[in-house]
Amino acid sequence: MIILGVDPGLTRCGVGVIEAGAHRRLSFVHVDVVRSSPDTSQDLRLLAIYNGLAAKLDRFAPDTVSIERVFAQENRNTVLGTAQAAGMAMLAAAQRGIPVALHTPTESKLAITGNGHALKPQMERMVARILGLNEPPTPADAADALAIAICHALRPAGALQGGEREQHLTPAQRQWAQAAQQSAKRTRRNADRGM
């Protein structure tokens, strides 16, 4: 299975591609950053992000697109641009009939390190280790995109299948699933409050 991970951003949108084989064996395929210039208008920036993502989808033909779920940040302009870039990724995938999964940063940290509060250097080292890379990918947006793809590959069995979970999850998978549920609840509460 080919998974294309997206760390959405309006200036830099990370794209990471991995292959998930038998027994959850993960292999590195590609990493890059799609960029748009802050000196151009918003519509042209979104077009640049969309075109860059569309080219990656056409090149790698992934089975799934895994996107980092946008969460509330202090800077509204940043969260708005991030949400718009995520929308471009979802649109490009939907146009090609590719399923989309959304994962929070906490879910990603928990799936990769076993700690939902892991720091960025820990995540970057684990991404490199899991994929057999000699050093962490750069820039950070690229490493985050690979992390989101890895998160999807390592998600607990049945996590995205209507809540039907296998009976025999490992303790780490159980912890990951609980964190995912808590994150989804927080997202719904924030949406209800208009955040």
Rounded Cα–Cα distance for residues 113 and 107 (Å): 10
141 is in an annotated binding site: yes
Q: Which of 19, 68, 107, 144 is catalytic?
A: 68
Q: What is the pLDDT of residue 155?
A: 80
For the domain bounded by 2-192, which CATH number is listed? 3.30.420.10
Q: Is residue 58 flagged as an active site residue? A: no
Name the strands in the sheet holding 2-7, side by side, starting at the edge strand that comes first in the sequence. Answer: 26-35, 12-20, 2-7, 64-68, 100-103
Q: Is residue 107 flagged as an active site residue? A: no
Per-residue confidence in pLDDT tens, the chain, 195 aa: 999 999 999 999 999 999 998 877 999 999 999 999 999 999 999 999 999 999 999 999 999 999 999 876 566 667 888 999 999 999 999 999 999 999 999 999 999 998 888 998 999 999 999 999 999 988 888 899 999 999 999 886 544 443 334 444 455 556 666 666 676 677 667 666 665
Q: What is the pLDDT of residue 194?
A: 63
7 is in an annotated binding site: yes
Rounded Cα–Cα distance for residues 164 and 160 (Å): 8
pTM of whole model > 0.85?
Answer: no
For residue 13, what are the β-bridge partners? 34
Q: What is the pLDDT of residue 163?
A: 37
Q: φ, ψ for residue 25 (rounded to 5)?
A: -75, 125
Q: Which residues contact 113 (CB under 8 A, 6 or more apart)?
A: 122, 123, 126
Q: Which of 19, 107, 141, 144 is catalytic?
A: 141
Q: Is residue 63 flagged as an active site residue? A: no
Q: What is the pLDDT of residue 165?
A: 40
Which of helix, strand or coil describes residue 28? Answer: strand
Q: Which residues contact 157 (CB under 8 A, 6 or more apart)?
A: 165, 166, 169, 173
